[in-house]
Amino acid sequence: MKLIVGLGNPGPKYARNRHNIGFMVLDRIAADHGFPPWKSKHQGRVSEGRFGSNRAVLLKPETYMNKSGDSVGAAMRFYKLDADDVIVLHDEIDLAPAKVRWKVGGGHAGHNGLRSVHAHIGADYARVRLGVGHPGHKDAVPGYVLRDFPKADDSWLDDVIRGCSDGAPHLAVGDGAKFMNAVALRVAPPRSSKTSRAEETAKPSTPEQGPGTDARSPLQKLMDRFS
């Protein structure tokens, strides 16, 4: 069994914040895969369900971001899980918007939610890093992640969220490679051969030479004069 955690802050005030992309993904996963209604448990909101034969617990900590580890630690102990059974989905300012990366272990890179999780369960858990971009200066980061995604981001944001939901069954077995493949099919789907041929047909062709048009280069003309 896996404990799949989305990081964020509770309440409607924060619902569309960049910091809450982890919550957004878990809401989509629960809806798409028929998980039961959320319940208050382990200092968070919990939904327990299955992806086929694989059981999983979805957790949205309600301790606010800086104390996310309180909730994660409580849930992990309750279900008698190890750190490598935990997968945390979180916003990542060091990745461009729409970029998603899978990572196991490592540091928290100053992310307060991860810092708290580290303090409670160590670093040996998996993470899904959800790129939201960087404001350009470190002093602007707190305000940036606590602002809503602009409407202009809706298209790529929806693709990322749905891609993560498509790949959720692979999260339930800890298969990061297959999860990333599912995300890529949403975010950057391959072009079909029909599309490629249509695009090729639409390309302007090289103009044909009309009657009486001399296609020789100046050098060829000069050489022909003395041949």
pLDDT tens-digit profile of 22-45? 999 999 999 999 999 999 999 999
With beta carbons less than 8 A apart as the criterion, state whether 64 and 110 touch: no
pLDDT tens-digit profile of 4-13? 999 999 999 9
Kindly report the average pLDDT of the chain as a whole number: 90
User: Is residue 207 classed as helix, strand or coil in its secondary structure?
Assistant: coil
Per-residue pLDDT at 73 exceeds 50: yes
pLDDT tens-digit profile of 127-174? 999 999 999 999 999 999 999 999 999 999 999 999 999 999 999 999
Structure tokens given for 89: 């989905």
CA-based nearest residue to 49, from 1, 8, 82? 1
CA-based nearest residue to 201, from 189, 193, 209, 210? 193
* Catalytic site residue from 19, 33, 111, 170: 19
169 CB-near residues (< 8 Å, 6+ apart): 33, 51, 52, 54
With beta carbons less than 8 A apart as the criterion, state whether 65 and 13 touch: no
Domains for the chain: give ranges and CATH numbers. Answer: 2-187 (3.40.50.1470)
102 CB-near residues (< 8 Å, 6+ apart): 126, 127, 128, 129, 176, 177, 179, 180
User: Is residue 7 classed as helix, strand or coil in its secondary structure?
Assistant: coil
Per-residue pLDDT at 76 exceeds 90: yes
Using pLDDT thresholds of 50, 70 and 90, give the confidence band for residue 190. confident
With beta carbons less than 8 A apart as the criterion, state whether 3 and 59 touch: yes
Handedness of CA 195, 198, 202, 207 (dihedral sign): positive
19 counts as catalytic: yes
Find the helix or strand (DSSP H, E) in which 44 lies.
strand 44-51
Using pLDDT thresholds of 50, 70 and 90, give the confidence band for residue 199. low
**pLDDT at residue 218, as a whole number:** 61
Gap between the Cα atoms of 30 and 56, Å rounded: 11
